[in-house]
Structure 1
């Protein structure tokens, strides 16, 4: 929450603002003292002046109570304190920035000073405390702040003049400041110096005469020695230097989508002498650098290194320096820049990164007024370098960029409800890569929006028409990626091509195993990350889809087959290792690990379904409990249906007649795998009757426990509460399976109204699950006990069980279970007459059902909510 006092009072982030002048005055005074406790007596003086009414202390308490409905206020023996960071109060933020800016200028860093002071003055939206004039404290505070504002303007002007700012930019606001404070001699002197630098000496001398007349008439004094010295220097011609011109390419399009990054970069350039923007091609590094430079005072020089062979020669040409014939052009650059305050933009350093780094280090070491902003696909690697990664745009920014560029080629284009999802899908498919988004928008000149979306699978062909005036490597999407690819070594290229087998990224360990790199994988991943071909986050490495599509093309078919097989084998091994852990106290950690690999696990299942049915059935069996716990069954149902269709539907009995080949393990339970395949496929739609009947026959005729303990549970959920639940021969020997069987018996008793028996079995199951430390079984059993307590009319006990179960289900991410239990909890509350609480739970159930994403859960939640009265 931000408190705004530099202009009309406001609170940014509050749902409601305090009404009434007294409350607003109280909040303003507390905000001015944010971080400090204000005694009650001082607050009374601030609100009522020197002669407060007799009831002022009581009125203050009442006002504080009302104010606490809008903002956080702490009360103690010493007084009242607004719970706010001083950074969130614009007055205090302004004062700190102004102090820091003045100190930076005095320390000889005018660039940083200018950035800080501009930010400080940008906080002002009008006169300080503009609508609090009635408050006794306001007049003195307002005068103090206006004085600080004028001082900050003077400090900023001094910093700009030290940087050699363009007079045409300085003069308008300097004139405005002098008009507001005509007797401030320092401001007048700064205006005179700016006029002289712009070649307007006569106007500068006229300003001095105006000042001398005003001072004599208003104050009866002569100009100060400092102002007289400026006047004398102008007469002598000592201020005749004009500001050097900036050398920045003009831009033809608007800047969209990186406002916050731009603000951070501008601030960073005020404090760091070397900043490097790194990122893959097409992310907009160059444009961001140019936009930042345009917002900074002083001389700027832009150097494009994309076609350069030596950095020094390119910089010399950009600065307009003559070829002196010296053997060491770098030494000549040092001499040319030694006493100048220049921001040097080195664009596209990756082509000659070592040469660019060496020159940058030498120049920064010998030229104290120099700052360097580099763009590159890898860091320069210099001590003191500040790195700013420039990644893809987020979805909202990418959509705005698409719409902006679309209007340029089709003026009738308008982003609305009818097309926004399609545009969002295009932007997401292109990873929010600005160049790709712009190229896609440009195709609206020839293609309908829907066709652009449909053809993104062949993105390099679709986005092959770019700006003819751009360098070849920036004209098309393929050219951008090819440029990055050309900078890799042979080993990096082979590894990057193999890495494309991963969907959703990979850990270093997985990449090493699957790509055959072994212990070298970490070094190769680090190198690809440094060169912006791979993104690293939280121990995982991923490629943007555009880079992945290109790199995949570079992998020979023979290598692809080997990598595909290794990928399937690795994730089958992971799934089978994880399955028993999902029934242990380590359940959460393994759920998170499998969730991180869900895209890879699904990709392995899809591939195995088409090329390796034995591995597909093993994967499906091992992952069944994970899909249930994470609510992912609908996502994999189409793959399971495809696998089921590939099996021979005419084989009688179980699966013994299906030929899987000699490489399939002889001890694998074909029948159980088939049942699980039918169950998984059934989530997405109707399973053919023959397959469903065969699965039912397998379960009915089975005389031994299932190897996958979740099979019996999933079948009972699908076929009905009595399907196999009372058959002890299906129960395995391990404690978790026995606990689940006991819980299943308890739920069945509850279903048939046998409450006492249900309570006995569910309590025993709960104790067993708790001893194992397993959350899902514990939560499921608690949900059953909530039903038992509800049937006995023990509402408080039922709610306590439900609440504990909800916490566990939410930890696990079982949103369908959360939605079901919230509906049951709401029914308990409705039965107790607590209608408002019941409706709140029905609404929470709808939110959870949306997160689950299953149609049945959504339909049940909507129906329940519609049946609950609002009162």
Structure 2
């Protein structure tokens, strides 16, 4: 028989004939038995279910009568047995829709890696529902609620699968209905936003986020989750959904179902999983597959450690994988602290691949990340465990016979589509110990060998190698046997090119192979190596598996000089393009060659310091635009030691850039700074690497006394002259000369438009937008800032993007668009956090504090200002943000009626502003003090601020309100007199009270 309890009780025979179980009491009794189909239900539980907490006298006898009547109605199709402990309905769980539903729903969730199969299973499960669960058992509220929760989860899982299959438009009505019934489900809100985006309705998706935020705040007093906020940020950017940062796989994943299931079961509750097993067992491929396909885990980030030879550089590999760069940071910034700051509030699955050769360093970093970053989980691969508390091991053994054969057949059909299998395939896989790498190499040989020939050669080869060095690890002997056997099947031309290719650390383009390997017309040989699984090729780049590379390198010729020479030529060719209209493709090309550029640099440092200086000079701007420049500190220091106390002839700029890289992260070094100052003072140009000017100013501080010499050096380079104008513009702005500053930025903008340099354009458009805003030209300001944002987003520059978003948010806040401003500040905060930039986090926090305070939410404002203060680093970059956060706390205190507290905050801000690099912070402090001063004193302070700023402040609502209040209390003549007195006193008027 078939039974339905997901809706009104339904009983049917196997041929579909309905059976009437009787009235309410028998229906309730049958429902109780079906909830435990096939298992005994105690008499006490049945009585409780039928009669509640107060059963009538003789309830046990009544139960027996009910059982008897129910037996007669179900006979002869189903039996109800009496047992010593109670009663049992003799039927399989799958004959009851509730149990079948749970099984199908679980299968659907487990099949999440195959969205089509998952969607089908979940749809079948949901089709079993005919109404509310257990309506014939009104007292079973807890069980009914559990089933309804499972139903909602199944709906969400099915929708997730359909979204993965490209669904969207058809899901919108269903999602709106589900949300009406479950208005606090963040997962449903996120799915509705994604469905609307898929239907080309991003604006409606944004309104859904606003609705979610409002509902969660009203009902729970909570903000949306980081996942929902991240989806909102994607919509604001108009970007595609973030894809997992994982290597693209070129072949199907075969087998490993038990290991995938174990990882899926462990990851939700274990923060460190390590896949262990022999080389060639497929640990890396399994980790990538798990990170890419399993549901319910954080977004993945893949970190390949195989090319990392120094354990101290692991942190830089993680930063690079995260897509982070330093930008213009303080020399005191610690790279590990920056990584922790970037990951502190993120939900992330970090895949650390190939840890075995750096296991101690990897273990220390994993322990640090797990203890400091609660949202981070780690999936590591290693031939041995990391050996730290909390680690859970997932062994990755050789494949069993059946999946090993499936893998062989899949790879064999890639080279012989007509291959239908062979009786000896299982023997081949067994001889290869089920190692996936070995199986793939063997299958590739079917292009030229028959299965019998393949099996015979394997047998001979392994019998010879089984008597090898017993002191070696078994996995090493086995893997070496496989690689050596495959190696012997190559012809000499293929072997020679394979040996030469081992010089490349990160793969190679055809151009690089031709230039470095010294073999004419290598295209055909490369294709042959790809076909025989010795190389992988993707987007025109050839990459050798590390295991094969290590084997082939044993007899490789020394091509270090040729390799370094090629990449030096590439860097010198790329360098001028990094400052013009072709920035983007050249940045991408250098990023693809990053591992080999580093390898070339290390080789040159040891063998050709002059060449190393040239290479480091050419790459310094690339590192600033896309790199983590602190990674080169030790290399730069080693190079300086090799070069000596002065630059080689003609390499003055390269020497200075090397010193800049040596200073990064190392703090003050007066002797080195003085030495470089002397080199620049004696240098007569013309500049070949003009960014040396800005990088030295950032590393060692402004040098006003050298302005004339800098102009002379920059005379021959339009890009360098524009760069100087940017520097002079900021200096004039800080000194309260806005007209001069705007002229400098305008000249620079014209030059950068001519060269097409996006970085330069953005760094001009940001201040020019604020100058336009200060004159009340708000729409023009927004246009300028939008253009700047477009440029920095093309560059994938989070620091500059955060700056421009904060600036644009300030403009919106000043014109009364608080919601728009908050959105900008939040996006800037997300970018700054992700890039590990505490100064930018502080700026975004301060903007959110201003928005909250101006909206009347002083409690929230105080939280943001205090957070901003905590983020500010101890360097000159942070002085302005610290001053403004102190002012924010003072204005918050004033808004709450605590005037004396406000004055104290403002005086702290004024004292710190006096130590800053310019007068703008002091002007801000003067305007703040004016807000709590007597009318005449307020006018005087506003005059001082106008003098310091070089202009009045007619756009800041706080300042506008202060001026309006002072004018209301004074005559026009009295106000103007006090204002003029303040202009004459300038900074002295701020410190006096």
Give the TM-score taking structure 1 as reference length: 0.47
Higher relative contact order (CA 8 A, sep 6+): 2
